[in-house]
């Protein structure tokens, strides 16, 4: 391998990357099972594509914040290892595609030179923490939530409590009551509050989209800022321990809360308080409180030639900041895709003439911040050269779409192709909607809702329909979703399924009827007044399959007839249930525990030891063909199968042994005791397993 081994200054990062390199080699040699390797690489941002033999790389960018140096680093990596295309996700990440697995360690090392990580961008981890792109400049915000999102990211990156959960975990921070970061569909969503002069957050719990959307419940109307990290750690510990692990489709936290109830869930969180790493965590905001950086270069004076176009752009894409004299510029990015040549030019622009910062947005766009208002003509001129002045930032024509069948294993129908066509229809046929920010259109290529289709006013989900022996691409039309603000939202109704080629007509029918019969109401009030059946009836002619043409069997953006092909999804890692693998992993956890102990990280050491207990117990249960579906169940079942039958004699029950973790503060003394007990337990398991294998011969 190349010199990346010695170029990485941070020893923790260096160890991470070298470990990935080593695991890739073991996988190539057939020494790591494919499913277990998948779990490992996903937690390092390496994600399988629809196309065989190449990977999608997800670059984790907390709350979408990027400096010019980081953007240039990303462009360099994309040109060297990928295709030069950058894709902005709905979680404010950047994805690049068609990367060789063997080159991912070097790619990661290159990114880390400018403090950009892949760690925990995918897999059963805390995913990228999102925030309103206007955080810090929002005229309606109580305070900037950016430092709190950043502190949350830093605290849980590589944190042992959230490395191998049953499913992914999503966190958002909204800048104001408008809740533009959509707290109601996150596992934890934070909305800023001030009570008696103290900063804090309203916190929403247990939301999610996917095939079964669930509205988050209220956790608390006010949690002080120094409590948000301990509260999150408590929630993660309970989700890790009690979350479903056998049935992947039931493994998100929303299902756990549904099963045991909000009050019981929060009772378990409260019982975990003593074991937390810290009872309070003070968050330093000084890095975000500084004055806006002045431009490096003097901004040239520019004369605008097309004043009406410039004024239309200002009205559509320019946002006033709370800082007097400054504005932010929204760049509408079609499908969230742009290329490295434009990215490099953009990086130079913000470095030299703004404050060296932009943010990728939840709607797959770009927001340049801290531009002096008098410099707008210059920015308009420069952005026009990059074709970055398309109108409609954050409007109905700013359509969100996942990659769909372009690259995703789970894609059933094209989401990008139909998005392009719908934007064309809006631009050419409905100019009156050019500044409409009330209606959103979102598209997903399958039911998993990466394009957030089931929370939009107008949504489309990729499907397929059978017509005789042929299969045609289809869209389910969903209506009536939306963000209501302050932690409230609504999910869309599934109205009707139609051939994909008729998607544009569905949009025309809906908008035409809204104009004719909306009576000045908001779109959601109009939808509620008419009712789902009303829309089903007037869209019903589009669902007629007796008049399909050849074109209906060709999906948007494709030249060939549609073929339904769905692979194995990688939205979360799959845990491999092999006894030997789990025993090795348990041993690894004990090694990690000892390493953390030597670094004085008592809480981390204790949690690694806890994971060692659980993995070891699970290994032996699997050897007995005993089913397990969450960690607490593993502990109970081990006592039933092994301890109560005296197959494995312990000084106490495993439950009493393991759950000391929640009865003790994370001190050096307890860490010493707990790790030693975990080591003794593991040796007992090894002895039992060796005898068991001998007896089978």
CA proximity to 208, closest of 401, 457, 450: 450
pLDDT at 577: 35
What does the pLDDT read at residue 410? 59
Q: How high is the pLDDT of residue 353?
A: 97
- Among 19-23, 224-228, 407-411, 527-531, the least confident range: 407-411
Binning pLDDT at 50, 70 and 90, where does residue 628 land? confident
**Residue, of 105 and 578, whose pLDDT is higher:** 105
Q: Count other C-beta atoms under 10 Å from residue 562's C-beta.
A: 22
Taking 90 as the threshold, does the pLDDT of residue 183 lie above it? yes
330 versus 25: the higher-pLDDT residue is 330
pLDDT recorded at residue 1: 39
Pick the more confident residue, 4 or 516: 516
If one counts every other C-beta atom within 10 angstroms of the C-beta of residue 471, the result is: 15
In the predicted model, what is the mean pLDDT of residues 50-78?
93
Distance CA 476, CA 463 (A): 7
In percent, the amount of the chain with pLDDT more than 70 equals 94
**589: confidence class by pLDDT, cuts 50, 70, 90:** very high
For 299-310, the pLDDT digits (tens) are 999 999 999 999
Cβ atoms within 10 Å, residue 567:
13
Q: Mean pLDDT, to the nearest integer, of 224-240?
A: 98
pLDDT at 408: 65
Query: What's the confidence (pLDDT) of residue 538?
Result: 95
Least confident of 11-25, 318-332, 633-647: 11-25
Residues in contact with 39: Cβ distance below 8 Å, sequence separation at least 6, in sequence order: 123, 124, 164, 573, 574, 575, 576
Output the pLDDT for position 8: 60
Tokens representing 147 are: 């430092």
The least confident of 8-12, 83-87, 533-537, 618-622 is 8-12
Please tell me the least confidently modeled range out of 217-231, 519-533, 541-555, 628-642.
541-555
217-224/198-205 β-pairing: antiparallel
SS3 407: coil
Q: Residue 326: beta bridge partners?
A: 372
Residue 642: band (very low, low, confident or very high) from pLDDT cuts 50, 70, 90: very high
Could you tell me which residue, 28 or 603, shows the higher pLDDT? 603
What is the average pLDDT score of the chain?
91
| CA 531 centroid distance within chain | 33
Q: What single-letter DSSP state applies at residue 443?
A: E
pLDDT band at 411 (very low <50, low <70, confident <90, very high): low
pLDDT for the residue numbered 471? 81
| CA neighbor of 339 nearest in space, from 83, 94, 79, 85 | 85
Give the pairing of strands 55-59 and 94-99.
antiparallel
In terms of pLDDT, which residue wins out, 525 or 37?
525
Residue-wise DSSP of 204-229: EES-B-TTS-BPPEEEEEEEEGGGHH
Mean pLDDT confidence for 360-383: 97
Q: How many CA atoms lie within 13 A of 10 on its CB side?
A: 14
Q: Does the pLDDT of residue 651 top 50, yes or no?
A: yes
**Nearest to residue 439, comparing CAs of 428, 450, 429, 430?**
430
Query: Which of 663, 672, 657 has its CA nearest to residue 605?
Result: 672
Q: Are 57 and 82 in contact (CB under 8 A)?
A: yes
- Each residue of 486-543: pLDDT tens digit? 999 999 999 999 999 999 999 999 999 999 999 999 999 999 999 999 999 999 999 9
User: Mean pLDDT over residues 203-231, rounded?
Assistant: 96
Is residue 56 helix, strand or coil?
strand
Residue-level pLDDT at 451? 86
Q: Distances in Å between the alpha carbon of 302 and those of 45, 318, 377, 386? A: 43, 18, 6, 17
Least reliable range by pLDDT among 44-53, 349-358, 473-482, 682-691: 44-53
pLDDT of residue 695: 74
The DSSP secondary-structure symbol of 372 reads E
Mean pLDDT computed over 220-248: 95
In this predicted structure, the answer to whether residue 412 has a pLDDT above a threshold of 70 is no
| 388-416: average pLDDT | 80
Q: Lay out the sheet containing 94-99: strands in order across.
A: 46-48, 55-59, 94-99, 85-88, 337-339
Annotate 320-369 with DSSP letters as a single string: E-SSTTEEEEEE--GGGEEEHHHHHHHHHHHHHHS-S-EEE-TTS-EEEE
Out of 361-375, 444-458, 570-584, least confident range: 570-584
Confidence of residue 563 (pLDDT cuts 50, 70, 90): low
Residue 37 has pLDDT above 90, yes or no: no
The pLDDT-based confidence of 404 (bands split at 50, 70, 90) is low
The answer to whether residue 618 scores a pLDDT higher than 80 is yes
Q: How far apart are the first and last CA of the chain?
A: 43
pLDDT band at residue 406 using 50, 70 and 90 as cut-offs: low
Task: Output the six-digit token pair for 537.
Answer: 């009836």
Q: Is the pLDDT of residue 576 over 70?
A: no
pLDDT of amino acid 629: 84
Q: How confident is the model at residue 185 (pLDDT cuts 50, 70, 90)?
A: very high
Judge whether residue 565 has pLDDT over 50: no
Q: Report the pLDDT averaged over residues 340-344.
A: 98
Q: How far apart are CA 315 and CA 149, in angstroms?
A: 30
- In the beta sheet, which residues pair with residue 220? 203
């Amino acid at each position: 391998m190349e010199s990346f081994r010695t170029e990485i200054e941070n020893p923790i990062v260096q160890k991470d990357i070298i470990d990935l390199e080593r695991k890739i080699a073991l996988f190539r040699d057939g020494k790591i099972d494919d499913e277990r390797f998948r779990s490992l690489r996903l937690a390092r941002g390496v994600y399988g594509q629809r196309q065989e033999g190449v990977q999608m790389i997800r670059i984790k960018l907390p709350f979408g914040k990027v400096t010019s140096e980081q953007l240039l680093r990303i462009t360099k990596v994309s040109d060297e290892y990928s295709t030069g295309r950058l894709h902005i996700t709905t979680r404010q990440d950047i994805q690049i595609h068609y990367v060789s697995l063997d080159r991912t360690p070097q790619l990661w090392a290159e990114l880390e030179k400018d403090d950009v990580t892949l760690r925990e961008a995918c897999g059963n981890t805390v995913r990228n923490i999102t925030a309103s792109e206007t955080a810090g400049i929002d005229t309606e915000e109580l305070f900037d939530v950016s430092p709190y999102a950043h502190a949350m990211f830093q605290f849980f990156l590589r944190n042992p409590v959230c490395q191998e959960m049953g499913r992914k975990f999503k966190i958002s921070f909204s800048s104001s009551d408008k809740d533009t970061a959509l707290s109601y569909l996150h596992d934890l969503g934070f909305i800023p509050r001030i009570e008696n002069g103290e900063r804090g957050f309203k916190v929403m719990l247990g939301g999610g989209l996917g095939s079964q959307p669930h509205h988050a419940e209220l956790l608390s109307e006010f949690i002080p800022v120094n409590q948000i990290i301990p509260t999150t750690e408590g929630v993660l510990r309970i989700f890790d321990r009690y979350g479903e692990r056998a049935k992947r489709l039931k493994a998100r936290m929303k299902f756990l809360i549904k099963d045991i109830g909000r009050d019981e869930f929060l009772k378990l969180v409260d019982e975990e308080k003593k074991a937390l790493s810290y009872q309070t965590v003070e968050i330093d905001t000084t890095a975000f409180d500084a004055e806006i950086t002045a431009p490096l270069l003097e901004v040239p004076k520019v004369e605008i030639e097309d004043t009406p176009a410039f004024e239309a752009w200002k009205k559509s894409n320019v946002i006033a900041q709370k800082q007097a004299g400054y504005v932010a510029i929204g760049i509408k990015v079609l499908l969230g895709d742009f290329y490295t040549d434009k990215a490099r030019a953009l990086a130079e622009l913000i470095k030299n003439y703004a404050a060296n910062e932009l943010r990728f947005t939840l709607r797959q766009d770009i927001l340049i911040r801290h531009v002096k208002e008098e410099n707008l003509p210059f920015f308009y001129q420069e952005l026009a050269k990059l074709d970055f002045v398309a109108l409609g930032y954050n409007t109905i024509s700013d359509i969100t779409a996942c990659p769909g069948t372009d690259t995703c294993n789970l894609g059933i129908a094209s989401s990008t192709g139909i998005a392009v066509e719908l934007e064309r229809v809006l631009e050419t046929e409905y100019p009156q909607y050019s500044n409409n920010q009330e209606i959103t259109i979102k598209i997903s290529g399958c039911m998993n809702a990466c394009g957030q289709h089931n929370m939009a006013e107008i949504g489309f989900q990729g499907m397929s329909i059978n017509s005789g022996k042929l299969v045609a691409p289809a869209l389910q039309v969903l209506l009536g979703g939306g963000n209501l603000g302050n932690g409230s939202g609504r999910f869309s109704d599934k109205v009707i399924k139609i051939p994909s080629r008729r998607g544009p007509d569905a949009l025309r029918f809906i908008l035409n009827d809204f104009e004719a019969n909306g009576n000045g109401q908001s779109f959601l009030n109009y939808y509620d007044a008419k009712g789902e059946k009303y829309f089903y009836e007037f869209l019903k002619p589009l669902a007629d399959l007796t008049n399909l043409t050849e074109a209906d069997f060709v999906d948007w953006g494709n030249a060939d007839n549609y073929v339904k092909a769905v692979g194995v999804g990688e939205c979360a890692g799959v845990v491999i249930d092999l006894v030997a693998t789990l025993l090795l992993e348990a041993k690894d956890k004990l090694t990690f525990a000892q390493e953390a102990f030597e670094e004085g990280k008592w809480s981390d050491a204790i949690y690694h030891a806890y994971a060692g207990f659980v993995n070891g117990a699970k290994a032996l249960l699997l050897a007995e063909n005993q089913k397990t579906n969450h960690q607490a169940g593993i502990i109970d079942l081990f006592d039933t199968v092994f301890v109560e039958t005296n197959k494995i004699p312990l000084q106490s029950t495993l439950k009493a042994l393991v759950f000391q973790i929640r009865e003790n503060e994370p001190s050096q003394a307890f860490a010493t005791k707990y790790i030693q007990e975990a080591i003794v337990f593991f040796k007992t398991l090894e002895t039992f397993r060796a005898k068991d294998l001998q007896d089978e011969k």
